[in-house]
Amino acid sequence: MSERGHLTKREREALIAGAGAASGGMTGGEADDLPLLAETLADPSVWAQPSVALEYVVLRAVMSAKPAAFAPVTSIGPVQPAARRRGAPRHWRALSAAAAAVAVIAITAGITMTRRHEQPDFESRLAATALAPGAGASADIYRAKGGFRVELEARGLPHLADGQYYEAWLKNPAGTTVPIGTFSSGDGSSGDGSSGGGRVTLWSGVSPKEFSSLSISIEATDNDQRPSGRRVLVGDTRPA
């Protein structure tokens, strides 16, 4: 190998082969792989590094995704009633309504009983900014398997135009901002342009203890992953 000057492909192969021989020599199959290994080691893609923030971006995207059996993020606003089906016999409708009512009561009671025993680990009260003077929100934050579940109750958020959405963030004192989820303004827009409010579930991979500043901002569906700075709600987390 030359002491000066750029290495040739043959010299780079010799580096590998020499080391391989030192550990017992090469078989025919190993020798066949030698040029491919040297070529791949010289491929910049093998050495390219994703940004540190990509982990958060991926987690956020996954948590916001909606597979058929799992939808962790709900949109704020009341659910629109389904269109009434025509032609169903009246007594079947009555029976269905009764069964649905029983189911709703049972589920609500179950949720209430479950939630009653679940105390949040952190809480936050969010105040409106000038961008949404009529808005307000509170958040209960629970330790969960693999992170923190943030139950956000918001009211009075402006109804957003197409291509916009709300995004929640946690920030630490050093200024590092971590996205914890996105949601839409839903269809609960009232006459003054604000939504009816509602509950949304978000997920955080960082602790609200260190990342103690919670905010909600308006974002656009572009490729810019950074906060827009258009914050509508701001607050601090504290142990519950």
Partner 1 sequence: MYATSSRRSPPGSISMEASTLQAFRDRDAAAVRAMYREYGKLVYAVAHRFLGRHDLAEDAVQQTFVRAWQSAHRIDVDRDPAPWLATIAKHVAIDIYRREARRPTTALTDVMTRDRTDVNVSPEALDAVWHVRRAIDELPIDEATVVRLQHIDGLTQREISDQLGVALGTIKSRSHRAHRKLAGLLGHLRERTHE
- Taking CB under 8 A as the binding criterion, the range among 76-84, 118-126, 143-151, 194-202 that sits at the site for partner 1 is 143-151
Q: Is 71 in the site for partner 1 (CB under 8 A)?
A: no
Q: Is 57 in the site for partner 1 (CB under 8 A)?
A: yes
CA atoms within 13 A on the CB side of 142: 12
Determine which residue in the list 87, 89, 146, 175 makes contact with partner 1, applying CB under 8 A: 146
Which residue, 89 or 163, is less far from partner 1 as judged by CB? 163
Which residue, 72 or 196, is less far from partner 1 as judged by CB? 72
- Taking CB under 8 A as the binding criterion, the range among 35-43, 87-95, 155-163, 175-183 that sits at the site for partner 1 is 35-43
- Taking CB under 8 A as the binding criterion, the range among 11-19, 84-92, 168-176, 208-216 that sits at the site for partner 1 is 11-19
Q: Is 73 in the site for partner 1 (CB under 8 A)?
A: no
Spatial distance between the Cα atoms of 212 and 203, rounded to a whole number of angstroms: 15
Determine which residue in the list 10, 52, 67, 196 makes contact with partner 1, applying CB under 8 A: 67
Which residue, 122 or 203, is less far from partner 1 as judged by CB? 203
Determine which residue in the list 52, 69, 83, 174 makes contact with partner 1, applying CB under 8 A: 69
Q: Under rule CB under 8 A, how many of the chain's residues touch partner 1?
A: 59
Q: Is 126 in the site for partner 1 (CB under 8 A)?
A: no
> Within positions 162 to 191, which residues make up the interface with partner 1, using CB under 8 A?
none
Enumerate residues 6+ apart whose C-beta is below 8 A from 191: none
Euclidean distance between the first and the last CA atom of the chain, given in angstroms as a whole number: 66
Q: Is 2 in the site for partner 1 (CB under 8 A)?
A: yes
Residues that bind partner 1 (CB under 8 A): 1-7, 12, 15-20, 22-23, 26-27, 29-31, 33-34, 36-51, 54-55, 57-59, 61-63, 65, 67-70, 144-147, 203, 205, 223
